[in-house]
Chain A
Amino acid sequence: MKPAVFEFVRARTLSEATTILLESEGAARVVAGAQSLGPMLNLRLVQPRILVDVTGIAELTEIDDRADAVTLGACITTANIEDGRLPGRGLQPLSVVAGRIAYRAVRNRGTIGGSVCHADPAADWISALCALGAQCVIAGPGGRRRLAVEDFVTGAFENALAPGELLQGIRIPRLSAHGHWGYNKLCRKAGEFALAIGAVVDDRERNSFRAVIGATRGRPIIVTEAREIRRTDGTGLDAIAVTRLFDRHGITDRATRRQHAAVLARALDQAAGA
């Protein structure tokens, strides 16, 4: 299949992009790495009138390196994250997660911001970034705003961008020196979208515990109280507690529950250094 006709604009500035988006009244779509949008265009699942390429906007490939957080431009590719080309400490989880996303060819072009905007529940970035407590930095006609990644993803393949808005970057808090993390996913084959994702960031220095059950049917499930999933003695997954969690979030299929529990347990063990 070939895409339907569209107009292609390569935006040079954020304001140019937001203006086009606003003026198109929904008929324009942003494209970055095109690793999900490309096939959707070819299959004519989406038929935008205008395609706005934002990869030439300088701010979107910048890295803002601060003591407490790093902000990655939305158009930074997964391959660059994988290769550890990010400044500062505490971001190792990102490169590990990046290295297991799809295939290198996809990672070479696919961007972190594109993946978050696409909001595929089974994709890695939204789960990993939720666990890290990351925020989306949104640029729009009215200026900038920030939104936690879990609030930015409003559902499967849905995000919170308002008309004219654009994801500029992702602000990721740094792990402390003693922060622990674990990430595990279940894929039938290497490079496929996951059937289940478990992500855990346990950073006692920052008094922060975040766990994510990802690759669900909708938004990732965020757990901020360790006792909701971890045994009170701190040694791994509390099977009964996690069952209650599944019940609460409508995960009823036995096989699915077992798979989510398995990857979450492994992520917990990894974060505990087990």
Chain B
Amino acid sequence: MAKYGIGASVLRKEDDRFLHGRGQYVADLRLAGTREVAFVRSPVAHARLRAIHIPEGLRDVVFTAKDLVGVKPIISSPPLKGFKRSSQPILATDKVRYVGELVAMCLAATRAEAEDIAASVDLDFEELPAVTDMLAALEPDAPLVHEEWGDNVFIAFSEDGPVDEIAKTAAIKVTRKIRTSRHCMFPMEGRGVVAYRDQRLRYLTLVTSTQFPHSVQTGLCECLGLDDGAVRIISPDVGGGFGYKGLLCREEVALGWLALQVNHPVRWLEDCREHLSANANCREHHYDITGYASRDGKLLAIDCVGYVDAGAYSDYPISSAPEAAQIANLLPGPYVFSTYRCRSAAVATNKCPIIPYRGVARSGICLAIEVIMDAIAREAGLEPYECRLRNMVRPDQMPFDNVLGKHFDSGDHPECLRRAVEAIRLSEVRARQKQSEPDGRLIGVGLSFFVEQGAHGTSVLASWGRPIVPGYEQANVRLTADGDIEIRVGTHSHGQGHETTFAQVAHEVLGVDFDRIKVLQGDTLYTPYSTATWGSRSMVMGGGAVARASRMVAARAARIGAWLLQADTADAKVVEGRVVAGKGSVTLREVARAWYLQPQNLPPDVDTGGLEVTAGYRADRDSGTFSYATHAAVVAVDPQTGLIEILDYVVVEDGGILVNPMIVDGQVCGGTAQGIGTCLYEAMPFDAQGQPLASTMLDYMLPGPTEVPNIRVLHMETPSPYTEFGMKGLGEGGAVGPPAAIVSAVNDALRPLGAEVHDLPLTPEGILAAIDAASARTPNG
């Protein structure tokens, strides 16, 4: 049973096609008569659009806002008090608010010709001053992104504990300013849309690379004024999402509209430049954070002001609220302390919207709190891990409600930290640091610890004011006439391997041959409505639903099987693909044959729903699962060049009961690679006029195979008390921990020089500037 069920590192079903180059991505779809779309995008960050000049003879193939009669803008306005609404036109109307905003849509036989047309369209602007920095945007005289707001704040959050009292007496006070860069999400496959009218099924069909088929369906219908039933969304193989494919994009609406006007399919494929400089960014935060502690390193209070540079618009369906909400909500992290004050805000700027990237705000939050923990450790004269141990939840305190009532469901945090300290060989690194390196580099060791809330349920998300709140996640499980299992889920794998792991869950319950279990997803035509895949939820929620539906199919099969065996239903159960009652058994295939082909053999009280069940699932307690992990890194910093090399990297993670440890390792390593990118490489800088400066991969740096070290992943498996099989969500954590761990290690290396760095990414120039600043401070430096 363990071979294919829960806990088995089964090779992925989907890899046969992926590794042989037979994946089916949007761009692989070839429909006869397809014409290509290229967009005219705003070349300026902030301007009034006075006129669009279309050359004579091209009026029929260039579409502007004037043509999109009846099409509504994208409005993503969570029902939160004080949230200021942004109205994002599909094609620009009177004003453009960032470089890359869609202005006109051009249609031609090929993309190159469509781009020729786009280049011939002339835009007449009245340029306005742009606001390109979140702090500058808060100044009273700042240009307004949305004039009607009166300021540039989408929404502010606050938690207001009595920090001032603690401040009077705390022995240790540490304050830091921290910046995390705006960066891009860079799935290997970009966005892409093919839209056409399906005359037979009478759908407007969009084949689009999305994490959220049903949300795109709902959002698209709102914009186009259609009913959900008029639109079918197909999301085929998706080559990475990470949040970037978790929004309704204007291109989807534009092509949906266009497909209704013409008699052929239309297609737009995002290119690298559009990804880099136009569509959505992530991660740009600013923190002013202070920690108070007692002399022995016990954390007493955290006081923080945090900002998110949210860009010009609130994207659908996530909105621009959660990133700033998470700062206020999740900053306390895993630590035990009683006094917390935090103000956070999502600030509008003339840049493209920020949307949640793997881990949402948590890589920045984790960095902010861990920088403070390191600083407290230094003041208290403690090893950073000892300082953290003093402030952690003990296993006997679990489940534990933190200062904001976050309910940590289970686990042994100190053990996780201890294992990482051992695995990274802290004492050996400390000994090595006492010798000087032959190449003159400085060695540092650092770590980060964090909790990862996943599978947030209805109660959490309703309180966060999400426009679309998930409820019962549904799965449809069908025993076919051949005795195979078909599973239909509304979650959508964009690399997570759901075709494998959901099949493992059904196999665990039904014992049907693993090869005969098929998972179907990514099509609103045949899958249950779902908020889909985000927030480390699919395995817990979708997997939970598959387990539940599988059990219900098993119960129905058992009744038929018992009748065929002439046994008591109460004695019959499904074991390894058979209905067993006493000494007799029949295969599920024989049961299926009876239902589908030989109904004369069915019991009179047979469940007339047959051998197909759609069941909904929600965790017993839906406050979310709390995975946790320690990331530990050893780095070498070259004080001559500022270059950083990661010498060793360890992750100790407790993600509850693991369905497929091999896939989990892949998730952790992939996330960690992205976190390394966040920490060391990735940045989308803008100039003062709001021009994005990294518009090709020459300027935008991603970590490659040579920059990602061999990541050693160690697991603990503490079951969640609230979920099926004790599973926890863990898809994002890999990306959360690295910036804090690497920054911690770099600062450990720089400590002999008295230098410290906190702004991401850590560039060679930034390291050298910090060393220079430190040597200017010390008299003999």
The minimal Cβ–Cβ distance linking A246 to chain B, given in whole angstroms, is 15
From 1 to 53 in chain A, residues with beta carbon under 8 angstroms from any chain B beta carbon are 1-5, 39, 43-44
Question: Is B119 within 8 A of A259, CB to CB?
Answer: no
Q: A43-B273, A259-B642, A263-B641 are in contact. Are A189 and B768 (CB under 8 A)?
A: no
A: number of interface residues (CB 8 Å): 26
Q: A186-B764, A191-B704, A193-B698 are in contact. Are A255 and B116 (CB under 8 A)?
A: no
The minimal Cβ–Cβ distance linking A62 to chain B, given in whole angstroms, is 32
Question: Is A192 within 8 A of B111, CB to CB?
Answer: no
Question: Is A258 within 8 A of B768, CB to CB?
Answer: yes
Quick one: which of A2, A191, A193, A263 has the most chain B CB within 10 A?
A2
Alpha-carbon separation in the docked complex, A1 to B701 (Å)? 20
Cβ contact of A186, chosen from B643, B680, B681, B698, cutoff 8 A: B643
Alpha-carbon separation in the docked complex, A192 to B707 (Å)? 12
From 224 to 244 in chain A, residues with beta carbon under 8 angstroms from any chain B beta carbon are none
Alpha-carbon separation in the docked complex, A189 to B673 (Å)? 14
Question: Counting CB contacts under 8 A, is A188 at the interface?
Answer: yes
Question: Counting CB contacts under 8 A, is B640 at the interface?
Answer: yes
Offer 21 A-B interface pairs, CB within 8 angstroms, sorted by A: A1-B273, A2-B112, A4-B112, A5-B112, A5-B116, A39-B698, A43-B696, A44-B119, A186-B643, A186-B764, A188-B643, A188-B763, A189-B681, A190-B706, A192-B701, A195-B764, A254-B772, A255-B765, A255-B772, A259-B642, A262-B638
Question: Is A262 within 8 A of B641, CB to CB?
Answer: yes
Question: Is A190 within 8 A of B640, CB to CB?
Answer: no
Given A44-B119, A188-B763, 9 more A-B residue pairs with CB atoms under 8 Å apart are: A1-B271, A2-B111, A189-B701, A190-B704, A190-B706, A190-B707, A258-B642, A259-B640, A263-B641
Question: Counting CB contacts under 8 A, is B52 at the interface?
Answer: no
Q: A4-B116, A193-B698 are in contact. Are A259 and B641 (CB under 8 A)?
A: yes
Residue of B nearest to A254 (CB): B772
The minimal Cβ–Cβ distance linking B300 to chain A, given in whole angstroms, is 38
Question: Is A254 within 8 A of B768, CB to CB?
Answer: yes
Residue of A nearest to B767 (CB): A255
Which residues of the other chain, A, contact B698 by a CB distance below 8 angstroms? 39, 193
Question: Is A258 within 8 A of B641, CB to CB?
Answer: yes
Question: Counting CB contacts under 8 A, is B135 at the interface?
Answer: no
Alpha-carbon separation in the docked complex, A186 to B115 (Å)? 38
Question: Is B643 within 8 A of A258, CB to CB?
Answer: no
Question: Is A186 within 8 A of B641, CB to CB?
Answer: yes
The minimal Cβ–Cβ distance linking A72 to chain B, given in whole angstroms, is 26
Question: Is B701 within 8 A of A39, CB to CB?
Answer: no
Residue of B nearest to A36 (CB): B698
Q: A44-B119, A255-B769 are in contact. Are A262 and B640 (CB under 8 A)?
A: yes
Alpha-carbon separation in the docked complex, A1 to B110 (Å)? 12
Which residues of the other chain, A, contact B643 by a CB distance below 8 angstroms? 186, 188
Question: Counting CB contacts under 8 A, is B703 at the interface?
Answer: yes
Which residues of the other chain, B, contact A191 by a CB distance below 8 angstroms? 704, 706
The minimal Cβ–Cβ distance linking B91 to chain A, given in whole angstroms, is 20
Question: Is B706 within 8 A of A259, CB to CB?
Answer: no
* A-contact bits for B624-651, CB 8 A (1 contact / 0 none): 0000000000000010111100000000
Which residues of the other chain, B, contact A259 by a CB distance below 8 angstroms? 640-642, 764, 768
From 162 to 202 in chain A, residues with beta carbon under 8 angstroms from any chain B beta carbon are 186, 188-193, 195-196
Quick one: which of A190, A255, A263 has the most chain B CB within 10 A?
A255
The minimal Cβ–Cβ distance linking B409 to chain A, given in whole angstroms, is 39
Question: Is A188 within 8 A of B701, CB to CB?
Answer: yes
Instruction: Tally the A-B contacts, defined by beta carbons under 8 Å.
Output: 70
Residue of A nearest to B769 (CB): A255
* 5 interchain residue pairs of minimum CB distance: A2-B112, A262-B640, A190-B706, A255-B768, A255-B765
Q: A188-B643, A191-B704, A258-B768 are in contact. Are A39 and B116 (CB under 8 A)?
A: no
Which residues of the other chain, B, contact A190 by a CB distance below 8 angstroms? 704, 706-707
Alpha-carbon separation in the docked complex, A259 to B638 (Å)? 10
Question: Is A188 within 8 A of B681, CB to CB?
Answer: yes
Residue of B nearest to A187 (CB): B643
The minimal Cβ–Cβ distance linking B765 to chain A, given in whole angstroms, is 4
Alpha-carbon separation in the docked complex, A3 to B110 (Å)? 12
Alpha-carbon separation in the docked complex, A190 to B645 (Å)? 12
Which residues of the other chain, B, contact A4 by a CB distance below 8 angstroms? 112, 115-116, 119
From 295 to 339 in chain B, residues with beta carbon under 8 angstroms from any chain A beta carbon are none
Quick one: which of B112, B680, B769 has the most chain A CB within 10 A?
B112
Cβ contact of A258, chosen from B640, B701, B706, cutoff 8 A: B640
Which residues of the other chain, B, contact A196 by a CB distance below 8 angstroms? 641
Alpha-carbon separation in the docked complex, A258 to B770 (Å)? 13
The minimal Cβ–Cβ distance linking A267 to chain B, given in whole angstroms, is 13
Quick one: which of B642, B706, B772 has the most chain A CB within 10 A?
B642
* B-contact bits for A247-274, CB 8 A (1 contact / 0 none): 0000000111011011101000000000
Alpha-carbon separation in the docked complex, A258 to B642 (Å)? 9
The minimal Cβ–Cβ distance linking B270 to chain A, given in whole angstroms, is 11
Q: A5-B116, A255-B765 are in contact. Are A189 and B707 (CB under 8 A)?
A: yes
Which residues of the other chain, A, contact B701 by a CB distance below 8 angstroms? 188-189, 192
Question: Is B115 within 8 A of A2, CB to CB?
Answer: yes
The minimal Cβ–Cβ distance linking A10 to chain B, given in whole angstroms, is 21
Residue of A nearest to B761 (CB): A188
Alpha-carbon separation in the docked complex, A188 to B764 (Å)? 8
The minimal Cβ–Cβ distance linking A217 to chain B, given in whole angstroms, is 15
Quick one: which of A44, A256, A258, A261 has the most chain B CB within 10 A?
A258
Cβ contact of A189, chosen from B110, B706, B772, cutoff 8 A: B706
Which residues of the other chain, A, contact B696 by a CB distance below 8 angstroms? 39, 43
Which residues of the other chain, B, contact A5 by a CB distance below 8 angstroms? 112, 116
Which residues of the other chain, B, contact A43 by a CB distance below 8 angstroms? 273, 696
* A-contact bits for B687-710, CB 8 A (1 contact / 0 none): 000000000101001011011000
The minimal Cβ–Cβ distance linking B177 to chain A, given in whole angstroms, is 20
Residue of A nearest to B640 (CB): A262
The minimal Cβ–Cβ distance linking B122 to chain A, given in whole angstroms, is 16
The minimal Cβ–Cβ distance linking B434 to chain A, given in whole angstroms, is 24
Alpha-carbon separation in the docked complex, A186 to B641 (Å)? 8
Residue of B nearest to A40 (CB): B696
Which residues of the other chain, B, contact A1 by a CB distance below 8 angstroms? 115, 271, 273
Which residues of the other chain, A, contact B116 by a CB distance below 8 angstroms? 4-5
The minimal Cβ–Cβ distance linking B755 to chain A, given in whole angstroms, is 13
From 48 to 81 in chain A, residues with beta carbon under 8 angstroms from any chain B beta carbon are none
Residue of A nearest to B766 (CB): A255
Which residues of the other chain, B, contact A44 by a CB distance below 8 angstroms? 115, 119
Which residues of the other chain, A, contact B681 by a CB distance below 8 angstroms? 188-189
The minimal Cβ–Cβ distance linking A48 to chain B, given in whole angstroms, is 15
The minimal Cβ–Cβ distance linking A136 to chain B, given in whole angstroms, is 25
The minimal Cβ–Cβ distance linking A148 to chain B, given in whole angstroms, is 28
Question: Is A189 within 8 A of B703, CB to CB?
Answer: yes
Which residues of the other chain, A, contact B765 by a CB distance below 8 angstroms? 255-256
Alpha-carbon separation in the docked complex, A165 to B204 (Å)? 57
Alpha-carbon separation in the docked complex, A5 to B111 (Å)? 12
Alpha-carbon separation in the docked complex, A188 to B111 (Å)? 34
Alpha-carbon separation in the docked complex, A2 to B272 (Å)? 11
From 100 to 133 in chain B, residues with beta carbon under 8 angstroms from any chain A beta carbon are 110-112, 115-116, 119
The minimal Cβ–Cβ distance linking B40 to chain A, given in whole angstroms, is 13
Residue of B nearest to A257 (CB): B768
Alpha-carbon separation in the docked complex, A44 to B116 (Å)? 10
Which residues of the other chain, A, contact B707 by a CB distance below 8 angstroms? 189-190
Which residues of the other chain, B, contact A2 by a CB distance below 8 angstroms? 110-112, 115
Alpha-carbon separation in the docked complex, A248 to B769 (Å)? 23
Alpha-carbon separation in the docked complex, A3 to B772 (Å)? 45
Which residues of the other chain, A, contact B703 by a CB distance below 8 angstroms? 189
